[in-house]
Amino acid sequence: MSKTYDVCIRGAGIVGRSLALHLAAKRLRVALYAQDAPADAAHSDVRAYALSPASRSVLEAVRCWPDALHATPVTRMQVQSEQHEPVVFDATQHSVDALNWIVDVPVLEGLLKEAVRFQPLIEMVDTPAKAELTVVCEGRASATRREFGVEFDAKPYNQWALAARVECAVPHAQVARQWFDNGDILALLPLGGAQGNVCALVWSLRPERAQEMQAATAADFCAELEAASHGALSALSLSSERKVWPLQAAQARRWVGHAHGASWALAGDAAHNVHPLAGQGLNLGLGDVAELVRILDQRAYWRSVGDPKLLRAYERARKADFAVVGGSGDALQQIFQQNHPTWQTLRSIGMRGFERSGPLKRWVTGRAMGTMHNASAA
């Protein structure tokens, strides 16, 4: 006799495993399906994510928040365009210990994998299982999304991301730094704990420039990086491989539906992609997890987890949040991509005004921290 499940999750990345753990905690039976990752994937993964307090809450609820060495608190952020004074965000101004945390991806994935292993209501399956609800968390190239006939509207940016880890000659002092310069966007994000001197690098460059920087010698690469970061962390040295990938803004036209006799929903990058400049990609995905779990947990006892009314409520709430976060990130990318002197002058005026704006700056910080939400998403 075949086993029965309430939910089948396709995709066992951070979003998929987090969702599985939360649903199992609500006493739902979960099948978790994913294709095997390459054996050396964990050793070559240089990704790090900036996670908000809201995302931290999602992960802490399933006891998968990394230790202080692998979740570095950001107490200050500096954003600079051209040679103008930076916009500064400070945790003390908001009476919080950290604006966000820079989390080491392989460590987080390891914690989630171990937690899933010890959760009896989650079963890893070799093929997609039949369930009342299938949640697709396979990433932006999702095969299941295509199988369900969902159109994915993607707008490629003329930029690729280059990611790596670098060691700095001076401690990072828990400061996240970002530079917008001639269309390029460089971020150095603190890693290794509060006293660390390692940073995660995310550098958005024109495709040919990204490939050139990936192929450059370590010495040449670091010289270019030190110039682009204006020597803010003194001498830099590579401590990892360099990975590159194309960037895009994208959104599925439908996030929920019905196929093969059961309901489905999209979550994470299978539903939406954003530019990494605001560090909101995984925060959006974990926001999907929190909202879907909330709606399913609060359903009437007689409603199925695949009830279309519940899933439409999930879709409305998450599309509303994505419209704000994705739209603002896309607008910033377009604004800072312009190199004409007029645009440079307007950016300078805009950044000075924003730095002194008071309420607007507090609202933007609250949005980024996940402490403010759209009324429609409540």
Name the residue ranges covered by the structural domains of the chain. Answer: 5-65+105-155+249-377
Per the CB < 8 A criterion, the answer to whether 337 and 347 are in contact is: no
Q: How would residue 42 be classed by pLDDT, with cut points 50, 70 and 90?
A: very low
Q: How would residue 348 be classed by pLDDT, with cut points 50, 70 and 90?
A: low
Q: What is the pTM of this model?
A: 0.86
**pLDDT reported for residue 232:** 93
pLDDT tens track for 77-118: 998 876 667 788 888 887 889 999 999 999 999 999 999 999
Print burial letters for 355-371: b (CB count within 10 Å at least 16), e (below 16).
beeeeebeebbebbbbe
Residue 304 neighbours by CB distance under 10 Å: 14
Strand 243-252 and strand 30-33: pairing? Answer: unpaired
pLDDT above 80: residue 339: no
Per the CB < 8 A criterion, the answer to whether 206 and 158 are in contact is: yes
Report how far apart the first and last C-alpha atoms of the chain are (Å, whole number). Answer: 42
Q: How would residue 36 be classed by pLDDT, with cut points 50, 70 and 90?
A: low
Question: In CATH, which superfamily holds the domain spanning 5-65+105-155+249-377?
Answer: FAD/NAD(P)-binding domain (3.50.50.60)
Pull the structure tokens for residue 155: 């707008």
